[in-house]
């Protein structure tokens, strides 16, 4: 591993300036590694200036029903604008812990044919279509002739390198497909379907805890995730805070948690 700063990639629209400030400030407080934060501003110019924060503009005519569909476009663009072999994409609503270790994550993707992400806290996330419960990925798998072969993962963290260029272009192609986009709940559902299409059986494991999986002192999800991070840094976080009782809960090792996800301002 080269002795170079960690390159973290993120993006946002013009209403994300406060989220960017919060994300950056928490990286400074909690990231145990030297880093460069690359922020891609979608169709606007960001006014945030900080040390090691590099601004990138991404002006596009593309309009999506949800901003997270820009994700693979930003990730691919990062390869052309950042001089590095390895990258980590993060959503702005993430807080790292003192257990964060990019070398461990990059080792996991070194021979991977696709980017990798952490296990989702639900084994089968679902939504309702006309009052019918359908697991996310099922309809897209039917359309793309794909068989699910792995756990569902969270796209809040995507670890990737230059060998994953083809995967990223395929991800973008699916998002550009109107039939796919009309059915997809979010970028994460398309991402998972494409991982299965590539017969990917690896993940980053149980390194991410998200809001919706825990509750502390009867707090709501937003307050609870911040409180969870606070307790983790004090070595006070434990499994009694989890509201789910599934394999995520059973297989999670507390000392392996690298990030908390779901911070809302």
- pLDDT tens string for the chain (265 positions)? 457 899 999 999 999 999 999 999 999 999 999 999 999 999 999 999 999 999 999 999 998 988 999 999 999 999 999 999 999 999 999 999 999 999 999 999 999 999 999 999 998 888 877 788 888 999 999 999 999 999 999 999 999 999 999 999 999 999 999 999 999 989 999 999 999 999 999 999 999 999 888 888 777 766 789 899 999 999 999 999 998 889 999 999 999 999 999 988 6
Structural domain contains residue 209:
no
Contact in structure between 259 and 95 (CB atoms under 8 Å): yes
Structural domain contains residue 239:
no
Structural domain contains residue 258:
no
For residues 8 and 24, give the distance between their C-alpha atoms in angstroms, rounded to a whole number: 11
Q: Which residue pairs, CB below 8 angstroms and at least 24 apart, start in 28-33?
A: 30/95, 30/96, 30/97, 30/98, 30/100, 30/233, 31/6, 31/96, 31/100, 32/96, 32/98, 32/100, 32/101, 33/5, 33/6, 33/100, 33/102
Structural domain contains residue 207:
no
Structural domain contains residue 247:
no
Q: Which domain holds residue 44?
A: 6-197
Packing angle of the helix pair 71-81, 165-175 (nearest 10 deg)? 150
Q: Which domain CATH number covers 51?
A: 3.90.550.10
Domain count across the chain? 1
Structural domain contains residue 263:
no
Structural domain contains residue 135:
yes
Structural domain contains residue 221:
no
């Amino acid at each position: 591993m080269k002795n170079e700063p960690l390159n973290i990639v993120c993006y946002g629209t013009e209403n994300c300036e406060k989220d960017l400030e919060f994300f950056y400030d928490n990286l400074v407080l909690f990231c145990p590694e030297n880093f460069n934060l690359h922020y891609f501003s979608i169709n606007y110019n960001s006014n945030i200036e900080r040390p090691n924060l590099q601004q990138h503009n991404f002006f596009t005519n593309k309009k999506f029903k949800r901003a997270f569909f820009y994700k693979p476009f930003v990730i691919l663009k990062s390869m052309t604008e950042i001089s590095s072999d390895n990258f980590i994409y993060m959503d702005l609503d993430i807080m790292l812990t003192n257990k964060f270790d990019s070398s461990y994550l990059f080792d996991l993707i070194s021979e991977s044919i696709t980017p990798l992400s952490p296990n989702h806290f639900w084994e089968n996330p679902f939504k309702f279509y006309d009052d019918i419960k359908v697991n996310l990925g099922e309809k897209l798998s039917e359309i793309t002739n794909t068989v699910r072969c792995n756990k569902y993962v969270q796209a809040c963290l995507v670890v990737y390198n230059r060998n994953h260029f083809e995967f990223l272009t395929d991800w973008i192609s699916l998002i550009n497909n109107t039939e796919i986009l009309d059915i997809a709940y979010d970028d994460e559902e398309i991402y998972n379907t494409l991982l299965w299409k590539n017969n990917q059986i690896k993940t980053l494991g149980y390194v991410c805890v998200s809001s919706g999986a825990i509750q502390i002192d009867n707090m709501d999800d937003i307050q609870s995730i911040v409180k969870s991070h606070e307790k983790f840094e004090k070595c006070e976080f434990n499994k009694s805070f989890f509201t789910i009782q599934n394999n995520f809960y059973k297989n999670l090792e507390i000392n392996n948690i690298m990030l908390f996800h779901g911070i809302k301002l």
